[in-house]
Structure 1
Amino acid sequence: MTSKASIDFIIVAFRNSLSDIEQLAESLVSSANRNNHASRVIVVANDDDAYTATGQRLVIQGHGNIGFAAGVKLGVAASDADFVVVVNPDCLADEAALARFFNYLRPGCGVVVPRLLAEDGSFDYLPYENWTYSIGRKIAELRCRRELSKYRGGTLPSFAKIPGAFIGLERGVALDLDAPFDTAFFLYAEDRDLTDRVRARRLPITFAADVEITHIGGLSGTSVSRLVETAKTDGALRVALRRFGRLGAALFALDTLMVDTVKTVLRRATDGEAHRSAMRRWANSRFADPGALTEQELQRQMSTPRVTDSRSSSDGPPSPNRVLVLWADNSAANLGLRVLAQGNAELVREAAQGVEVDFQDFGPGDSRVSFGTRSILRDIGRRNGPIKTKLRQYDLILDSGAGDSFADIYGLKRLSFIAYAHWMARRLRIPLALGPQTIGPFNTVIGRAIARRSLRQAELVTSRDMASAEYARTVLKRSVDAVGTDVVFMLPTREEPMGTRDVIVNVSGLLWFGDDHVDSTYYQAQVRQLIEGLLDAGRRVSLLAHVVNSPSGNDDIDAIDAVSRSLDRPGIELLIPTDLDEARAYIASGRVLVGARMHACLNALSQGVPAIPWAYSRKFAPLLSAVRWTHVFDLREKDDVATSTIEMILDPVQSAVLAAEALDVAASARDSMAACVDVFASWFTVQRADGSSARRAAVDAPIAAA
């Protein structure tokens, strides 16, 4: 088959996920090759990450952060293809969409742009908005949202601009257009300028409405970074100058100051200092072009302090020493939440010395503040609301996900609490990290959109199983930084000798009294059958509560009391721990544990005690398989789990296998947590070296109310 025109894809990368860049590059080249186009990807790295060059991937690196437009120019100069396609790192496309896009690339095509979609599948009209002043921006937003969304393709309407996220054109045309973005623009607004120059030359701009490309949107586009805001304002001033002269640039500055003033009065978020910083450059040149911004100039402006903070001192920036662990509580009735609290605290303390750790659950708990509905309502619209005031005290927000709550299967209400805390951390410029946890599932469009935004915001993302890591990569489009296991394996092991007790059975009040997960009648019958079978075989049984003194009632204490009374068998010991340490001591004294509370089972395995989990949700399987523990029965299948469990315990060969494998699990799981410790240790090292927490502290005071 005759080869078609050659295509080079240009990706300008800056602090993007290496794996995401490689996956994007592979998908672009594979699609082009399957459509018989000779192609390669040119990665222009504006950072010093270790990108991999291959036969069809050229990496240009070592020039530093020269900005997007200059990066594209390097890529075009290195290309020898018939066509070039500029692709943002945050774009996703399937092979069918790319094949249709390739069909538009032919001599004389001018500039071709696709139909961009947001994460939820709706039309992403923002990249097409063409404006100069604030009133024009509102009009452009309205027309792009209402009219362009229904446009069936053809010449791009005059009210819209070329979206710089994904464009294709002949390489010769790109060179004639200054390759094709003007390098006077460091970041943002270069596509508005390109649109003006393309139309001035009467080159066609084709809107390929049948080509749908998902545009996730990078952090630079969604954050309130002072650097980004400065670059945006500088670019917008340059567009105003080129369209309407020096008076036009001065009018834009006045327009921006008025908008910032109104937002301040209305207590809306605005980065007025970044805007004024950019405008001072232009005012000093009397609104003639002051020259292109550089990274050094932007960094100098960004590092200039705006206010002082009580934690700053003349001795230099403080280290990031205060960490808040979200959705964990060291005084919770559910001892699993105490595991999350103490385990995440141990993870942080092992990663960095001298760190203070506090805990915040959805309710007050260890904290005096709730992060629930009432506190959110009191926090919205207030500069010093209860949640903002709480978060401002910390240098890192570590989200435990309550183990498995970073999902929408528990309802959007709980997810909205998590999302609001993340949003406030972003507004206050406090780094967010996700500790080892289950990620997903997200079965709703809004749930997936919230999750993707949180993962893009997070500086570190860790998971406690490979299934979560794969879900984050494929569905949420964010590769995790490390895969460990549950933080229970960070806890110190007990010295108490094993075997002083025989079989410990954890009875779940959640399953005994409710039908939300499994049929309670079935569960009750299986528990009674298990205990009676063990007692009849001459084994000693202790019943363990793992959720104690719950204010909502019907906890594990109520459940083990109900079991004991219903059986009326002598010799059944009831174990009601007063805290996590006592619970782990009880568990360490057993020969084997059977339980429906996952952290009761994990408390056993982390101490080398065999556990036979009775699973009731998806969180059990991936986590336990990750530590290579396969001795699990699923209550949802409604099998005779009691008989199978009794047979396993009474069989001396199987019991010996359980004991040996449990010791291996405890050792290997602790080793697997080293990867999580390492990424957190690296993060703390970098933060303490560059004093970023001090910069964050210096700017958090003037943040406007949400």
Structure 2
Amino acid sequence: MNQKKFQRSIEVALLWHSLDSDNLGVGALAIGHIYLISSVAKEAGYEVKFTTVGTPNSDGKNARVEVERIVGHKIEHVVYSPRKIISSIKKLKLDKLGLFNKFDVVFDIGEGDSFTDIYGTSRFLRLFFSKLHVLVNKRPLIIAPQTIGPFKKRKSSLMAKFILKNASKVFIRDIKSRDVFQSLLPNSKSIQVIDVAFAMPFTKNIEIASQTVGINVSGLLFNGGYTGGNQFGLKDDYPEFIEELIRYFVEETAYNVELVSHVISDEQALEDDYRACVHLAKMFNDVKVAPKFNNPIEAKSYISGYSLFLGSRMHATIAAFSTSVPVIPLAYSRKFDGLFRTLGYEHSLDLKELTKESLMSEIKDKISKNESLALDLNLAIKTANNYLNEYKRGLLEVLELSYENNK
């Protein structure tokens, strides 16, 4: 490849990406996305300079250093606050209004599943405002692979429709999001791909004892959601179900048991998985708690050593799936079923539909057919890789257009 090609530079903003989030799923999306864009750009002879934009990073995480080593430059992170931007405009300080002007293209991943109103009006408006900001700055807005919807309110649907209609490209990570997109814009086209966390690199863990099951416990579900009152409408009591699940593996199987965190936060006790894991481990002899991971790559690498995995954090289950660990996702929202069904992997169990008795019956049945679980996994991994290749082709097209339009 000639030297001239290496001099083709593209400034990329990664909106709602956070490398060092307490939520390792959000971090996995950022790392996987940067890894994909970098690999495509390198093959095509582009130099990409990344800036992440979104929520504040956690001081306790260290993914940024590893990712900066991969891409070969420092990655600036800009904390995005609509309130501060509006306040600055009122004071006639207009520098923040042009935040996205310097970028050739903006990829918005919506932290994976935040482009919806099910998490509240404030969060939806924050996501909407940021997308509108990109359009006002007349920058190409790329909706990166994420869950779209659901939108419970008509106003939210209309606002989402406006953004999607004016985006330069829309990539979808699951079939249910594709259906939402088509209901809003029946004459427009989205591109079906898959979650970019599948592309995040890892190192195979060979140190975990054989025949060990990893159980990811969601601190958010354990505490009843943000409201503390079964916010997500689970069919049965989540702590009781998890306790019964652990007891089953301890008393009725030959598996060693480890409890695994994928949201680790010293500040946000409500969301912290680690506290819930420690609490549950104290109730049993010989049940271990996996370490507090410092970054998503470390978590994925560790999870790769299990013989079986069950989890309520979607990106914890993706970490298992994409490292060839048979996995039973324990879903609390449609994003689980949408994603895994897109891959032809029909083993998610819906916590909103099934009682704990039904859940346990299903889990026992799936474990008894472990070979079938592994076979379905291998086939689904091939499908995931095909979707990743489709996204790489889409990325190349975006990078080429961005360079040509801004050189």
| Same fold flag (TM > 0.5) | yes
The Cα offsets for residues 182-203 of structure 1, whole Å up to 9 and x where unpaired, read as xxxxxxxxxxxxxxxxxxxxxx
Matched to 2:376, the amino acid is E
What residue is the counterpart of 2:320 in the other structure?
604
SS at the partner of 1:563? helix
What residue is the counterpart of 2:347 in the other structure?
631
1:568/1:428 Cα in 2 relative to 1: closer, same or farther (>3 Å)? same
Q: Please tell me whether the aligned partners of residues 328 and 347 of structure 2 are also in contact (alpha carbons under 8 angstroms).
A: yes
Q: Please tell me whether the aligned partners of residues 343 and 380 of structure 2 are also in contact (alpha carbons under 8 angstroms).
A: yes
Q: Please tell me whether the aligned partners of residues 378 and 385 of structure 1 are also in contact (alpha carbons under 8 angstroms).
A: no
Deviation at residue 582 of structure 1 after TM alignment: 1.4
CA RMSD of aligned residues (A): 2.5
Q: Distance in 2 between matches of 1:383 and 1:648?
A: 64
Matched to 1:583, the amino acid is A
The Cα offsets for residues 351-389 of structure 1, whole Å up to 9 and x where unpaired, read as 323212222223466866432343233343467546435
What residue is the counterpart of 2:193 in the other structure?
484
Q: Distance in 2 between matches of 1:660 and 1:591?
A: 14
Q: Please tell me whether the aligned partners of residues 320 and 395 of structure 1 are also in contact (alpha carbons under 8 angstroms).
A: no
**Structure 2 matches for 1:200-599, cutoff 5 A?**
319=8, 321-353=10-42, 354-363=47-56, 369-381=78-90, 385=94, 387-388=96-97, 390-477=99-186, 479-497=188-206, 500-501=209-210, 502-514=212-224, 515-518=230-233, 522-536=237-251, 537-554=253-270, 555-565=272-282, 567-599=283-315
What residue is the counterpart of 2:61 in the other structure?
none
Greater relative CO, 1 or 2 (CA 8 Å, sep 6+): 2
Q: Distance in 2 between matches of 1:553 and 1:478?
A: 45
List alignment gaps of at least 5 residues for structure 2.
59-63, 65-75, 225-229
1:433/1:319 Cα in 2 relative to 1: closer, same or farther (>3 Å)? farther
Deviation at residue 548 of structure 1 after TM alignment: 0.7
1:348/1:586 Cα in 2 relative to 1: closer, same or farther (>3 Å)? same
Matched to 2:220, the amino acid is L
Matched to 2:394, the amino acid is V
Matched to 1:534, the amino acid is F
Q: Distance in 2 between matches of 1:583 and 1:645?
A: 27
SS at the partner of 2:255? coil
What residue is the counterpart of 1:668 in the other structure?
383
Q: Distance in 1 between matches of 2:397 and 2:38?
A: 13
What residue is the counterpart of 1:166 in the other structure?
none
Matched to 1:662, the amino acid is L
The Cα offsets for residues 189-225 of structure 1, whole Å up to 9 and x where unpaired, read as xxxxxxxxxxxxxxxxxxxxxxxxxxxxxxxxxxxxx
SS at the partner of 1:673? helix
1:656/1:388 Cα in 2 relative to 1: closer, same or farther (>3 Å)? same
The Cα offsets for residues 436-477 of structure 1, whole Å up to 9 and x where unpaired, read as 111112222221221121112211110001221232122234
Matched to 1:673, the amino acid is L
SS at the partner of 2:294? coil
1:507/1:430 Cα in 2 relative to 1: closer, same or farther (>3 Å)? same
Q: Please tell me whether the aligned partners of residues 499 and 591 of structure 1 are also in contact (alpha carbons under 8 angstroms).
A: no
Q: Distance in 1 between matches of 2:90 and 2:103?
A: 21
Q: Distance in 1 between matches of 2:207 and 2:385?
A: 19
Q: Please tell me whether the aligned partners of residues 32 and 201 of structure 2 are also in contact (alpha carbons under 8 angstroms).
A: no
The percentage of aligned residue pairs carrying the same residue is 27
Q: Distance in 1 between matches of 2:140 and 2:382?
A: 32
Q: Distance in 1 between matches of 2:375 and 2:364?
A: 18
Normalising by structure 2, report the TM-score: 0.84
Mean CA deviation greater in 637-646 or 601-610 = 637-646
Normalising by structure 1, report the TM-score: 0.50
The Cα offsets for residues 639-679 of structure 1, whole Å up to 9 and x where unpaired, read as 2255225514641xx11111222222223202112222212
SS at the partner of 2:106? strand
Deviation at residue 331 of structure 1 after TM alignment: 0.6
What residue is the counterpart of 2:227 in the other structure?
none
1:641/1:349 Cα in 2 relative to 1: closer, same or farther (>3 Å)? farther
Q: Distance in 1 between matches of 2:359 and 2:292?
A: 23
Q: Distance in 2 between matches of 1:351 and 1:613?
A: 31
The Cα offsets for residues 307-329 of structure 1, whole Å up to 9 and x where unpaired, read as xxxxxxxx9xx956121211121
Matched to 2:341, the amino acid is S
1:477/1:546 Cα in 2 relative to 1: closer, same or farther (>3 Å)? same
Mean CA deviation greater in 494-503 or 536-545 = 494-503
What residue is the counterpart of 2:67 in the other structure?
none
Deviation at residue 491 of structure 1 after TM alignment: 1.7
Equivalent residue for 1:686, pick from 393, 396, 401: 401
List alignment gaps of at least 5 residues for structure 1.
1-314, 695-706
1:379/1:480 Cα in 2 relative to 1: closer, same or farther (>3 Å)? farther
1:573/1:441 Cα in 2 relative to 1: closer, same or farther (>3 Å)? closer
Q: Distance in 1 between matches of 2:359 and 2:166?
A: 45
SS at the partner of 2:182? helix
Q: Please tell me whether the aligned partners of residues 263 and 274 of structure 2 are also in contact (alpha carbons under 8 angstroms).
A: yes
1:495/1:472 Cα in 2 relative to 1: closer, same or farther (>3 Å)? same
1:650/1:677 Cα in 2 relative to 1: closer, same or farther (>3 Å)? closer
Q: How many corresponding residue pairs?
A: 373
What residue is the counterpart of 1:280 in the other structure?
none
Deviation at residue 611 of structure 1 after TM alignment: 1.0
Q: Distance in 2 between matches of 1:350 and 1:495?
A: 21
The Cα offsets for residues 602-660 of structure 1, whole Å up to 9 and x where unpaired, read as 11111111111111111111111001111111111242255225514641xx1111122
What residue is the counterpart of 1:91 in the other structure?
none
Matched to 1:531, the amino acid is I
What residue is the counterpart of 2:338 in the other structure?
622
